[in-house]
Structure formats: C-alpha cells, structure tokens
Amino acid sequence: MFELHPRLTADTIPVTDWPLCRVMLMRDANYPWLVLVPRRHGVTEIHELDQSDRQTLIEEIAAASQRLQNLTQAYKINVAALGNVVQQLHVHVIARFTTDPAWPNPVWGAVPAKPYADSEMTRLLGAFAS
C-alpha cells in the first residue's frame, strides 16, 4: 500500500499521478521544482524497482524534465535521488538558472523556501496536471 512520507506531504503540492509516479510541486518558488515519487510500498532505492518500473521511472523523469525545460527555459535541469533525509524513493527534477539564489551550488538549504504567488502556482499546476 503506497503512502507518501509525511515530509514529502508537508513540503510539496500534489500535481498529478503518472503511470508510476505521483508528481508533486515543491513549495519553493526560488526554483521550479518537481518531485516524482514512485507509488511502490517500501522502495528506497532505484535499483529496488523491477526492470519495468525502472524503465518507466526514467521515462517519467525525462517527461518531467522536458516539460519543466519547455515551461521555464531553464539554463540547466538538475535530477537527483538522494534520500538521505526522506528514505522513501523520490526524484527531484529542478529547473536551475544562473541567476537563482543557489547557483551553481545545490539548492538544499541555500535560502529559505519562498511561497508561490497564487497565479504562478496555478500556472505550474495546470502545466503539469495533464
């Protein structure tokens, strides 16, 4: 039975479910940032997914990356699956800009999270809901 980790629930806004992953928007307007969470109970590492799910995950990461690139015209798309704080397997897909507050360093802990304006959140949610 799939359950989203409480930290992911607190830090993200649900966008949609794709065939494998729940797609979430990180509550941080400093960086357009998606989190993909495979809906598989107890999985903490990519290699724990079966071959079909691994292939689907890669395709969903690519789809999220492409949509984020098209939507934001980002300089770089960062993809990461760390799991040091939240062990539940999840993949970060982050649009980066040379002007963002963390550039060129990792985004984690660089600056406090900035809330989205309602109009921007609506735009991003609509762009990824399909």
pTM value is 0.95
DSSP per position, 12-77? EEEEEE-SSEEEEEES-TTS-EEEEEE--TT--SGGGS-HHHHHHHHHHHHHHHHHHHHHH--SEE
pLDDT value at residue 128? 82
CA distance 96 to 92: 12
Burial class (CB in 10 A: 0-12, 13-18, 19+), 6: exposed
pLDDT value at residue 82? 94
Tell me if 24 sits within 8 A of 35, measured CB to CB.
yes
Going along the chain from its start, the domains and CATH numbers come out as 6-121 (3.30.428.10)
91: part of which helix (H) or strand (E)? strand 91-96
CA distance 128 to 130: 6
Burial class (CB in 10 A: 0-12, 13-18, 19+), 102: middle
Per-residue pLDDT of the chain (130 residues; tens, 9 = 90+): 899 999 999 999 999 999 999 999 999 999 999 999 999 999 999 999 999 999 999 999 999 999 999 999 999 999 999 999 999 999 999 999 999 999 999 999 999 999 999 999 998 888 887 6
